[in-house]
A and B are shown apart, each in its own frame.
Chain A
Amino acid sequence: MKRVAEDELIQVRTTVNGRSYTFSTEARVNLADALRYELGLLGTKVGCEHGVCGACTILVDGKSARACLMLGVQAEGRDISTIEGWATGKELNPLQESFRRHHALQCGFCTSGFLATATELLRENPTPTREEVRERISGNLCRCTGYETIVDAICDPEVAAFARGEQSA
């Protein structure tokens, strides 16, 4: 394993939302902060910095991950997907659109984390039951909505159609 000095900057090459980035960071900087402050991708939110609230959830190589529990240097060679990459141009994707329609967000701070978790679930299973959705999103905390409309949004038939397309693509 490569040894680095405490304040030495490490160069990281990674892919975020389909685009290649190279940035330099201290070894101790977590991935959430690296995304936010090195790459300017501020849509990933930080709510607890100890992996409980789920606000910073992103997709790393297609799997949901807590950006606050990974280090920025662990982005090396990874394919990362964040909220900034989920709309197409000025068009919300069907999951985002469903969240809007179902009022599945209020203050919006936890939203990117929920979208990440739901995206991963829907790729595995385009038509989850409400119970399966509740189980899967239980690692994301929302203080505003009471969760029901988030479940509604993820279970929406239009989302299932989109998710099936994603799955076969």
Chain B
Amino acid sequence: MSKDQVVEIRKQAIGQSVPNKESATLLTGRAEYIADISLPGMLHAAFVRSPFAHAKITHIDVSAASDMAGVELVWTGADVLIHTPGITSSVDREGFVPTTQPAIAHDIVRFVGETVAVVVATSRQIAEDALELIDIDYEELPVVANIEQAHAATALANEAVPNNVYFRNTRVNHEVDDAFSNAALVVDGVFHNNRVSAAPIETRGCIAQHEWTSGLTTFWSATQMPGILRTMLAMFLQIPEQTIEVITPQVGGGFGQKAHVFPEELTVCLLAREIGRPISWIEDRQENLLSATHAKHQLNSMALAIDEAGKFLAIKHHSTTDGGAYNCLPWTVGVESECGAPIVTSTYKIELARAETIEVATNKCPIGSYRGVGYTAGHIARENLIDRAARKLKISPFEIRRRNVLLSEDFPYTNATGLITREGTFLETVNTLERMVDYDSFRQRQTAARAEGKYLGLGLSIFNEVTGMGTRALNFLDLPITTHDTSTVRVDPTGTVTVTTSLVSAGQSHATTLAQVAADALGVPVDNVVVRSGSTANTQGLGTWASRGAVIGAGSIGRAADVVREKIKQIAGHMLEVSPADIELADNGVRVAGVPTRSMTMAEVAGAIYFAEAAHPENFDPTLEATATFDPADLVLANGGHAAIAEVDIDTGIVRIEKFFAVEDCGQMINPMVVEGQIRGGIAQAIGSCMLEDLVHDENGQLTTTTLMDYLLPTSMDVPDIEIEHLETPTDLVPGGIKGMGESAMISAPAAVVGAVNDALACCNIFIQQYPISPERIFQELQNAPN
């Protein structure tokens, strides 16, 4: 069977809000996160990090640190270079400039926070004390602090990147100029998206243990991608892959930040092999903000040509990513603009498009993945231009979208960038949001509020989301990568079910949702299924990112369960003296279709397979487990939309998000409670990312927001209660009709937040194009407003 096979799953547990199986462990403090693991003889690592954005290391003396009581080993870049050149990251595209980030910098540092030395000691406190005894002289080099300086190229951020350009691309290049010349209306803007951090509450961390007698290395990491990490440790450190086990403990949030392979992980692995004792590294918050990848930093020029009827004619998009000093692994610097350009027309019928992208090198922490990868900044630009056009045309923001979204009669529709949409509820989303917002009464309320000196605004954004990222989806994004993810399903001797999967969880409730899938695939109760993930000893796969868990999980578990199911039908048919085709799996057992009294329990069937050869048909293979991959036959597109109502206090510049509305169509939901949890959490991040969060660098490339007092995460006072409605358009590409959805809110909700503020201030001729929208920004906009 092919890897995109869609097996049948009988819906029973699927669709129910089954409570999270992991909750009791998490609610009693009994879950084991990376910092909770302690191994006999374990040592602790701490890193010296560069205080300069770009400098030559002219002198480094570790002798005082090495001599300190409790210090086991100190390494600099030169020591680690013997073992590995570092992390080389590239993508197989013509003209793309690869980089190699040393495991520890040697000779030159290229961003503030880059590792310069590491101390291993008997406690973290001693390791940190010893860091201060390392004597380092730097000679500062010219800093490329921003996109303008990167383009000027009077200095290079990284000498491996000529002209500070990693890559430039034209994803689509239609002749759009005539459309713009003849358009009744053109709206355009230059949008400065801010640099943010995914900032999970648990920082990064890893532990390495190496046993030289057996040659086995065990590596614990708070990672979203244990399989990739294992392969990369093998490749970059020249360790035989079969000797490495990567274990993922409970992970305290990832959001894409933990979907990378980091230089610290390479270093810690090498140190454990060198010293022969387990070594733990737990990052602190400052290190996390400095060096655990940054995100979303795009500069976008966008223009939309519109006819007199409000129909979109053409779009022009030019996106620049402030990429930092190296390519992250595995995504590279293309993670932002390159992933955003292919979906620039979103759910709209825009026949003509031009989308150009460029990624530049700067002396900053590498840009990496964060929920809504690539999409967020472009969505803010496009949806806000659409709102602006609606205001100019004096039609409602719902109406202008109604006139332009893909309709069911358009399917299948191939858009300007080659994306094929086969289904979706775009019009229904717009109409549902309009009803939820109660648009007419909102406008009345807005007018009444204005009379009282209050500024209310409504923002709207609709989206599609490429979910369950497999080979087809990555290739559509111009990433020539093949995905490979397995799950194993076993019916145990007593008839219970054990699933092992490569899809680790960082709060996505896989232990519950994937158990629901397996339960329905085999007709057993959810409580009879256990889902184990978190070790590469079990199954191979690329991990949990890009809204993959539901799709890849359902697909691979479904396919593996199907093999087991056929075995069960075979023996049950033999024992009940009917054709295997007449056997159904249901109610924790098997029965003859149409004759429910002729049945056996799952325990009886499994017992016969494992322990009663006499019951087996001739030449029966009793293996009651199977491993299967899944890679969807095409892109699995979910869709939906968001609306926000904001009140702007023009005296203080403070914005209060008053109401939030979300519509999600992720096909058949596995667990509505979990789906809604993902939506709410994503919306909180959306509010944070465009209202509060900002990684600020000064002109020397120095990060000035290195604590959570400066880098502001949204609190319970910033995020309102959220109204959610569901549409369910199943896909035929995935068992059960399931689609992914984990990133949706961070794709689209930021555009609605920005749109709400812009709508509130449109009466002042203000259209904010630089984020986050801090009180100071609003004050400045009011100062500079035309009247």
Contacts and interface: CB of A to CB of B under 8 A. Distances in A.
A137 B715 CA distance: 8
Interface string A12-56: 000000000000001011000000100001111111111011010
Nearest to A146: B680
B340 interface: no
Given A43-B30, A44-B29, A100 B201 contact: no
Interface string A106-149: 11111110010000000000000010011101111111111111
Nearest to B199: A143
A92 B201 contact: no
A151 interface: yes
B509 A109 contact: no
Contact of A143 (B24, B125, B681, B707): B681
Contacts, number: 170
B722 A146 contact: yes
Contact of B23 (A53, A105, A135): A105
A149 B675 CA distance: 13
Contacts of A149: 677, 680
Interface in A53-107: 53, 55, 82-84, 86-87, 92, 96, 99-101, 103, 105-107
A151 B708 contact: no
Nearest to B508: A106
A48 B289 CA distance: 11
Given A45-B252, A48-B707, A92-B24, A107 B507 contact: yes
Contacts of A100: 19-20, 23-24, 27
A163 interface: no
A150 interface: yes
A86 B684 CA distance: 29
Interface in B267-304: 284-285
B708 A50 contact: yes
Interface stretch (B31-39, B179-187, B548-556): B31-39
A101 B294 CA distance: 35
A92 B715 CA distance: 26
Contact of B681 (A83, A106, A134): A106
Nearest to B680: A146
Nearest to A43: B29
A114 B715 CA distance: 12
Contacts of B540: none
B604 interface: no
Which of under 10, 10 to 19, 20 to 34, or 35 or more describes the interface residues of B? 35 or more
Nearest to A86: B28
Nearest to B721: A148
B51 to A, nearest CB: 19
A134 B719 CA distance: 9
Contacts of B201: 45, 47, 53, 55, 107, 109-110, 141-143
Nearest to B38: A37
B28 A96 contact: yes
B722 A148 contact: yes
A137 B677 contact: no
B91 to A, nearest CB: 29
Interface residues of A, number: 56
A33 B303 CA distance: 54
A141 B682 CA distance: 14
Interface string B680-717: 11111100000000000000000000011100010111
B708 A138 contact: no
B508 A87 contact: no
A83 B24 CA distance: 12
B668 interface: no
B455 interface: no
Nearest to B253: A107
B716 A151 contact: yes
A87 B681 contact: no
B346 interface: no
A26 B506 CA distance: 34
Given A84-B28, A100-B24, A141 B708 contact: yes
A49 B284 contact: yes
Contact of B125 (A28, A99, A101, A148): A28
A103 B20 contact: yes
A108 B252 contact: yes
B716 A147 contact: yes
Contacts of B722: 146, 148
Contacts of B284: 49
Find the residue from A52, A139, A147 having the highest chain B CB count within 10 A: A147
B785 interface: no
25 contacts: A47-B202, A49-B285, A50-B285, A55-B201, A82-B29, A83-B28, A100-B27, A103-B19, A105-B27, A107-B201, A107-B252, A107-B506, A108-B22, A108-B252, A109-B252, A130-B721, A139-B715, A141-B713, A143-B681, A143-B713, A144-B677, A146-B683, A147-B684, A147-B719, A148-B721
Interface of A: 26, 28-29, 36, 41-50, 52-53, 55, 82-84, 86-87, 92, 96, 99-101, 103, 105-112, 115, 130, 133-135, 137-151
Interface of B: 17, 19-20, 22-33, 35-36, 125, 198-203, 250-253, 255, 284-285, 506-509, 673-674, 676-677, 679-685, 707-709, 713, 715-717, 719, 721-722
Q: 8 closest Cβ contacts across the A-B interface?
A: A43-B29, A109-B252, A108-B26, A107-B507, A146-B680, A106-B507, A83-B29, A146-B684
